[in-house]
Structure 1
Amino acid sequence: MKFSEMTYTRPDIDAILAQCRQFAQRAAQAASGEELVQLYYDQSAALADYTTAANLANIHYTCDTRDPYWEGEQNFFDSNGPAVTNATVEIYRAILANPHLDALTEALGSTCVPGMKNAVLAMDDRVLALQQEANALSSAYQKLYGGALVELDGKQLTIPQLGPYRQSLDPAVRRAAYEAEAGYFDAHRAEFDDLYSRTVKNLNEQARILGYKDYSELSYVRMNRIGYGPEEIRAFRDQVARDVVPLLNTIIQRRAKRVGIDHLTFTDLGVAFPDGNPNPIQGYGERMAAARTMYHELSPETAEFIDFMQDNELFDVLSRPGKASGGYMTSLPSYKAPFIFANWNGTSADVDVLTHEAGHAFEGYLAARDEKIPADLECPGMESAEIHSMAMEFLTAPWHHLLFGKDTDKYSLLHAEDSFIFLAYGCEVDEFQHIMYQKPDLTPDERNAVWLELEHKYRPWIDFDGLPFYGRGAGWQRQLHIYECPFYYIDYCLSTMAALQFFLLTLKDPKDAWARYLRLVKRGGLASYTELCQTAGLRTPFEAGSVKAIAQPVADWIEAHQI
């Protein structure tokens, strides 16, 4: 069914809550392991229509944050979603108390029971009102950011539409683009500062009520991290700072020399080649035709997937006024349909987001059709789900010429460099958030000072050169994850470590790399991050020395493939 034909009906929340209570009773009364396993499948499938309605409302709202009807529906789910979530937690609580619990591990693997335990530990009715408020704060940020329009080049542009100007070969144009963006954030400085202050206060209060010292601790439970915790993440960040940042500094300086820039400033970082960055082919239809060819040739599974996505118009990727920032994939379980949202702006990042979100969507497409995988376990933890997307960016490399033509080699180098460079930024975002929630009384200026200190630690090559907004240390405010899904960002770093290994594997044997990836993807959410890495024969970044062992070959490839 085409997206435009999918109907939306606001769900009956009271009926859903009553149904959840019935499932909780059934879970308490299940008299055998087989009965408990079936109950888990049943309750997992029961909320498909509710989830579909919630995701349809969110899609429509993020596609146009100015639409009052969809803003009202988004507000409805912001208000009622926590009650539904907490009702499902009561089902899990009853399942966990059942004496036949071990049957779930035997039937569904190592993540099912720990995932339910995390859900129980992360939420209950005592924080319901705070959850509602947190949802409203997130939506307010989306609206404030998504509504941004700035003046440049005689035009009114959205923030994503500034992308080509930020990559201009003219330094004055680049500077003007960053200043235009900065002007919007500075004009709304008090609003962005207030939204973040209220978010930190809200989430820390939720953590306190639930028995945690602050949200940085609770976040590991809510993010359903299985098999590792803050100490492992800290050790990983330390490895990146020690073993990766020096390599990145060399890459950045080499890029500046390649471009012909003597004194590198922040506004120069987006320019990678003296004759301009790689340009993908233009035109929605042309790109979608190239994507169809690419995925038809990659594998039978991806051929079926891309036909389904395109034939059912499950993409909204063009930037326009009022559209929320960023990109995402979400699922519509009643239709077994993924949906991809993005903000194309004519740069190579358009291809990054196309292949990235397609990786998410491909996994979701396969999992929705595998009857062995319950709906609750179709997707693994986000650090694992991002492997699906970030690895897909590299696994499609043999077909990137369809999207870049003569600029293919330039894109290959740029993509490898940027993926590698991202590690430092992602760790910076994560450490910043830990500090913010552990020191919640910092003033806005003090928060910005922490960010500037971390910039020096993780990205010592940056010179803001008096740039507004960024120069005062507020650049973190344009990172939507910090406001909308705190502590998510380190997941990209963990998955990048897997994706870079897929990159190296693809260089050696693309067919073997794809076979490993497909094995990983087909496990859905039935395995942890570590287990999924093992499935594909990958190292995990928690091992001492593993980050350097992965990073050095990538740095060597980048050095050997200079253009």
Structure 2
Amino acid sequence: MDPMKFSEMSYTRPDINALLGQCKALAAKAAGAASGEELVNVYYEQSRAFADYSTAAQLASIHYTCDTRDAYWKAEQDFFDANGPAVENARVEISRAFLANAHVDALTEAFGTTCVAGMKNAVLGMDDRTVELQKEYNALVSQYQQVYGGALVEFDGKQLTIPQLGPYKENLDPAVRRAAYEAEAAYFDAHRDELDGLYTKIVKNLNAQAQILGYHDYSELSYVRMNRIGYGPAEIRKFRDQVASDVVPELKKVIELRCKRTGISHLTFSDLPVAFQDGNPSPIPGYDARMAAARTMYHELSPETAEFIDFMQDNELFDVESRPGKMSGGYMTSLPTYKAPFIFANWNNTSADVDVLTHECGHAFEGYVAERDPKVPADLECPGMESAEIHSMAMEFLTAPWHHLLFGKDTEKYALLHAEDSFLFLAYGCIVDEFQHRMYQNPDLTPDERNAVWLELEHKYRPWIDFDNLPFYGRGAGWQRQLHIYECPFYYIDYCLSTMAALQFFLLSLKDHKDAWERYLKLVRRAGLASYTELMQTAGLKVPFEDGSIKAIAQQMGQWIAEHQV
């Protein structure tokens, strides 16, 4: 299909009954395939069959998240929330048929280790008996999105969204920073009962789904649903333990250097966003100027990225400016019918705008490459979440030689801030992950008890923080503004696992940028046909589950940061 501008892409609500009928026929075909070759062909066919449905679902989601107040797109989003589980379950039946076929090993030969393992996880993670609970869960997430997406706070004489408070949180005046956090806190406190109630329902709902499927609780089922291949809770615990023992001591030194640099002798929570005495790095202003800089950057990085950025910009595949009614956060999604990635963000004129640009472009670049590889079936274009985040987080570092186009005189400041923040993130990511394991294993905790666990984990992984009686945050409720905890439980440690890859790409690029880029490209080209461990090995990186694998990386990061104080 020829490239098409986003504004020209037409939307039709799919005929669910027709699709479910097609699914039945495909399951029968998969069950009856008489040879390995035939089975591989059926796999490609079922992969293509979902392209139009998936494209329609993504178009509805994009339009809805771009304006959560639009009644038409809200109704379309509700349609997919209600019908998505039935389609997912029909896909599971197709997977069941593939797995039952005597020639199933042909799929591993054709597509690598993730194809069959992924189908096994899909079968273990879904069941018709959970459909009603899944629908209820989708509705709970939509409610949370409306509470969050509808947030408008009165500040500085304006009505601001939560993302638009970002610049005030980085203001050099501590009173302004604190007031911005208090304004945000007041909104969440005003919705306290609703947010607590929604989370209680979500935990009970997902644990009920887990028990129907024979698991003790959702923390077990989540590894299946998140399609974790080759590792489980024990490996993740080993990873978190290493962060606590080998990374946190290095992070304490980073924080001490930051305090010295900013002149803030006693760090409170609302001081965390301040990294420099004369203000944080600011990207160049203006949408057009930034987009022009991004085009130059990707043209110079490689021929592959040059072709990619032209496609994205020429076809209006970015919506990155913040406005009322727009959902918070940033994401990249794919429109398979058009072989087009789409990038959504909320720019707020802080350096995070560049983070989100390079981050989502990393996801989109991988999608763009995979969509054009005829050997890769549509549903294996993207690896597991923890691996997909490697594409994005490593891209943030591998574009560094061109960051001067986006930051000018603030380039060195940004390089330091970005390295520090990525490194510091490991601690926060582990808090989010351990918190969720504790919540689902102890579903009867009261809201206050949940908040106490959050504060305990803050102390374990980020002992330098003083909440200084800040409302909302000070009582340990800050986790409620972390979208992932409500919307996609257990999808957060993924960022930490990919950060371990990204930091290694960063350290490699300091020695030899060309070599680091070649390794990255090699990893990207394996698309979704390899597991996290295999992808790390493809690029020659250390796998962070092994004891002692993190210490040297942490020390090298600490050293680089110490040597590059601005």
Q: Same fold (TM over 0.5)?
A: yes
Aligned mate of 2:113, from 110, 113, 119 = 110
2:212 matched to which residue of 1?
209
1:440-479 equivalent positions in 2, closer than 5 A: 440-479=443-482
Percent sequence identity over aligned pairs: 81
Find the aligned partners of 1:311 and 1:191 in 2 and give their Cα distance: 43
Find the aligned partners of 1:259 and 1:103 in 2 and give their Cα distance: 59
1:113-152 equivalent positions in 2, closer than 5 A: 113-152=116-155
1:387-536 equivalent positions in 2, closer than 5 A: 387-536=390-539
What amino acid is aligned across from residue 508 of structure 1 in structure 2?
Answer: K
1:297 matched to which residue of 2?
300
Instruction: Tell whether 2:368 aligns with 1:365.
Output: yes
Aligned mate of 1:283, from 286, 300, 303 = 286
TM-score (norm 1): 1.00
Find the aligned partners of 1:510 and 1:281 in 2 and give their Cα distance: 25
Instruction: Tell whether 2:319 aligns with 1:316.
Output: yes
1:139 Cα shift? 1.3
1:152-185 CA-to-partner distances (Å, cap 9, x unmatched) read 1111100000111000000000000000000000
2:35 matched to which residue of 1?
32
1:465 Cα shift? 0.5
TM-score (norm 2): 0.99
1:316-355 equivalent positions in 2, closer than 5 A: 316-355=319-358
What secondary structure is seen at the aligned counterpart in 1 of 2:565? coil
- The answer for unaligned runs of 5 or more in structure 2 is none
1:57 matched to which residue of 2?
60
1:179-221 CA-to-partner distances (Å, cap 9, x unmatched) read 0000000001011111111110110000000110000000000
1:63-212 equivalent positions in 2, closer than 5 A: 63-212=66-215
1:253 Cα shift? 1.7
Find the aligned partners of 2:146 and 2:346 in 1 and give their Cα distance: 15
1:143 Cα shift? 1.2
1:256 Cα shift? 1.0
2:379 matched to which residue of 1?
376
Find the aligned partners of 1:146 and 1:291 in 2 and give their Cα distance: 28
Find the aligned partners of 2:260 and 2:271 in 1 and give their Cα distance: 12
Find the aligned partners of 2:533 and 2:265 in 1 and give their Cα distance: 43
> RMSD across aligned C-alpha pairs, in angstroms?
0.5
Give the number of equivalent residue pairs: 563
1:525 Cα shift? 0.3
What amino acid is aligned across from residue 200 of structure 1 in structure 2?
Answer: V
1:339 Cα shift? 0.4
Moved more, 541-550 or 493-502: 541-550
Find the aligned partners of 1:185 and 1:39 in 2 and give their Cα distance: 49
1:246 Cα shift? 1.1
Q: Which runs of 4+ in 1 moved over 3 A?
A: none
1:126-168 CA-to-partner distances (Å, cap 9, x unmatched) read 1001111111111111111011000111111000001110000
Instruction: Tell whether 2:15 aligns with 1:12.
Output: yes
What amino acid is aligned across from residue 215 of structure 1 in structure 2?
Answer: Y
Find the aligned partners of 2:528 and 2:306 in 1 and give their Cα distance: 23
Find the aligned partners of 1:333 and 1:362 in 2 and give their Cα distance: 14
Find the aligned partners of 2:520 and 2:135 in 1 and give their Cα distance: 38
What secondary structure is seen at the aligned counterpart in 2 of 1:357? helix
2:269 matched to which residue of 1?
266
What secondary structure is seen at the aligned counterpart in 1 of 2:45? helix
What secondary structure is seen at the aligned counterpart in 2 of 1:546? coil
Find the aligned partners of 2:257 and 2:25 in 1 and give their Cα distance: 63
Find the aligned partners of 2:309 and 2:203 in 1 and give their Cα distance: 40
Find the aligned partners of 2:15 and 2:163 in 1 and give their Cα distance: 37
1:346-375 CA-to-partner distances (Å, cap 9, x unmatched) read 000000000000000000001011000001
1:61 Cα shift? 0.5
What amino acid is aligned across from residue 218 of structure 1 in structure 2?
Answer: L
Find the aligned partners of 1:466 and 1:103 in 2 and give their Cα distance: 60
Moved more, 515-524 or 140-149: 140-149
What amino acid is aligned across from residue 195 of structure 1 in structure 2?
Answer: L
What secondary structure is seen at the aligned counterpart in 2 of 1:342? strand
1:228 Cα shift? 0.4
- The answer for unaligned runs of 5 or more in structure 1 is none
What amino acid is aligned across from residue 265 of structure 1 in structure 2?
Answer: T
Find the aligned partners of 2:320 and 2:407 in 1 and give their Cα distance: 18
1:536 Cα shift? 0.4
